[in-house]
Amino acid sequence: MLSFTAQQIALLVQGKIEGDATAVVNQFGKIELAIHGELSFLANPKYEEYLYQTKASIVLVNESLVLKKHCTATLIRVPDAYTAFATLLVKYQEMKNENLTGVQTPSFIASTVTLGSQHFVAAFAYIGENAIIGNNVKIFSGAVIGENVKIGNNVIIHPGVIVYADCILGSNIIIHSGAIVGSDGFGFAPKADGSYQKIPQLGNVIIEDDVEIGSNTTIDRATIGSTIIKKGVKLDNLIQIAHNVEVGENTVIAAQSGISGSTKLGKGVMMGGQSGTMGHLTIADGIKIAARAVITKNFKEANMTLSGYPAGEQSAAYRMLVHQKSLPELEKRVKELEIMVQHLSQKG
């Protein structure tokens, strides 16, 4: 178990200590439930009352926080407590993984595989012919790395991940359990007899640096060329990325969303949960797509906020929703007017 003093933590996050600099923590805890020996943080003012009750040994707080009561925990003041806490979690995870090296048995590594330094291959993992694995790559149980796959440095492949043949992964990537990279795109040509002819998917998937892919997310290989996930993209669990899609840098996509084939997302796009797009579309940089919105056409103006089905500019979509609620009353009034017109015409 790893332990840190308040002084060590303050150095890592460049914070200022208030209290006992020798206080020691070896675990993380929520501020309302933390116990002695745990580190917590306070970023949301709604939880401030717990700061004066917590049993945590150390708490990260914002520099701007003005204490209203006495606090028993050692405080470390930082510009942004949430960001500092995230930094510590990342460092803690890195330190835990540093001790994982070597190859466990039984596992299969083809004789033509190139393994970098500080690698770890867990039992029951499979690495196919001619794969090239960089430095400090951790491949856990049940993972399958196909033939000719290339993986950069500092990559974590969690249990049950499958990376199909010929795919290319950059550095500083995390792929969570059950994700599949490079499965066939959904390509079938209708035949005269009503059946379908499968279209071979001959391309691959390219994942650039600093990408994280959630559990049970699938990224299909291209029919020809590459499906591309660009630098800094963050994908939640249960996402479908279809063949020949391009996801722009630093885009974030929430769970249960789907991108249809050959659609191109710009830089910094944000997609809410259960949102989706039709195929062969272009989505401009910085566009925000609300949960459950469905994109049915191109949006080439940057930084728009879209919602609804079919998705449109959010304020207009909200106005439509308001009018939809009035439809039953409007229908009633129209019917009344029709009756009045009918009576007037009969009198005439």
Q: For the chain, give every domain's residue range.
A: 4-98, 102-317
Return the closest-CA partner of residue 140 out of 176, 183, 186: 176
* Residues near 156 by beta carbon (within 8 Å), at least 6 away in sequence: 97, 137, 138, 140, 173, 174, 175
Catalytic entry in 243, 280, 323, 343: 243
What are the pLDDT digits (tens) for 13-30? 999 999 999 999 999 999
pLDDT of residue 338: 85
CB 110 within 8 A of CB 129: yes
What are the pLDDT digits (tens) for 65-110? 999 999 999 999 999 999 999 999 888 887 877 778 999 999 999 9
Rounded Cα distance, 10 and 25, in Å: 13
Q: How far is CA 210 from the centre of its chain?
A: 11
What are the pLDDT digits (tens) for 192-244? 999 999 999 999 999 999 999 999 999 999 999 999 999 999 999 999 999 99
- Work out whether the CA dihedral 300, 302, 304, 307 comes out positive or negative: positive
Return the closest-CA partner of residue 167 out of 115, 110, 206, 225: 206
User: 243 catalytic, yes or no?
Assistant: yes
Does the pLDDT value for residue 345 go beyond 90? no
State the CATH architecture for 4-98. Answer: 3-Layer(aba) Sandwich (3.40)
* Residues near 246 by beta carbon (within 8 Å), at least 6 away in sequence: 227, 228, 230, 263, 264, 265
CATH code for residues 102-317: 2.160.10.10
Output the average pLDDT for the chain: 94
pTM beyond 0.85, yes or no: no
Rounded Cα distance, 46 and 262, in Å: 44
Rounded Cα distance, 189 and 198, in Å: 6
